[in-house]
Amino acid sequence: MRAAAVKAFWSEEHELFIVNRPWLAEEKEMRLCDRSTATAVLFDQCPGGRAGASLNALAELPKTMGESYPCNANWRYWALARGGRIDVVLQALRRRWATMPSVRLNNTIQEDWVAQPDSGSQWSHCAVAPLYCFFMNVAGIQPLEPGFRRCEIRPQLGDLEDLDLTAHTVRGPIHFRSQGPLGQRELAITLPTGCEGELVLSAGEQPDLERLGSTQNGLNRYRLAMGTSVRLTLHE
């Protein structure tokens, strides 16, 4: 199936999956969509691992890119975070989500990016991307095994100087606290009993932790023992 999708939709010239590639001669202008572009990044579907153009397109949202409505915005944010572009995610949360008319006027999240008063537009919906993006992408807390027997924590804090959250798992709460500006952040993490963690940091960090190896994109993994707390300073 992947081979068939690559054959039909992958463009060697642009290094992108183009959703209307089979009909380009007729439609003239190529079309992208954030959902297929994001999943290509998330599930390593780009031939030869060439995901750079996809990440750039997700970050820049060119006019040829079709965009999901707020409830499905998570796919784009997940892919951007995987590619290290948390700056784009934080910018979207500040400039687009926080300024929604529904947020400003009645503290709810609207169903569509543009919601008209006195219309069929829903002004209270289930678009919770901002909430789980902070847990999964900014704090970077994600399970590595079912039931949170093992988890990964890859902090991507951007320019945030204060973040304090607790992820409630079936093994118990994971406490995460970060304070301080870029270059001198104090990070504190507490894992529950029965949950072992892997802390993922840039190669420039040198924590006093057992190193487990490296990731494909040059990040290092460190062991976090279950039921313990760690404190360290991040320099990058």
Tens digit of pLDDT for each residue in 60-78?
999 999 999 998 999 999 9
> What is the C-alpha separation between 51 and 212, in angstroms, rounded?
25
What are the angstrom distances between the C-alpha of 182 and each of 2, 27, 64, 141, 185?
A: 40, 47, 35, 20, 6
In the predicted model, residues of the chain with pLDDT beneath 50 are: none
- What integer pLDDT is reported at residue 113 of this predicted model? 92
Give all domains of the chain, ordered by start, each with its CATH number. Answer: 2-67 (no CATH), 139-234 (2.60.420.10)
The CA distance from 140 to 168, in Å, is: 14
Closest CA to 101 of 70, 67, 129: 70
Q: Which long-range contacts (CB under 8 A, 24 or more apart) does 7-10 make?
A: 9/36, 10/46, 10/47
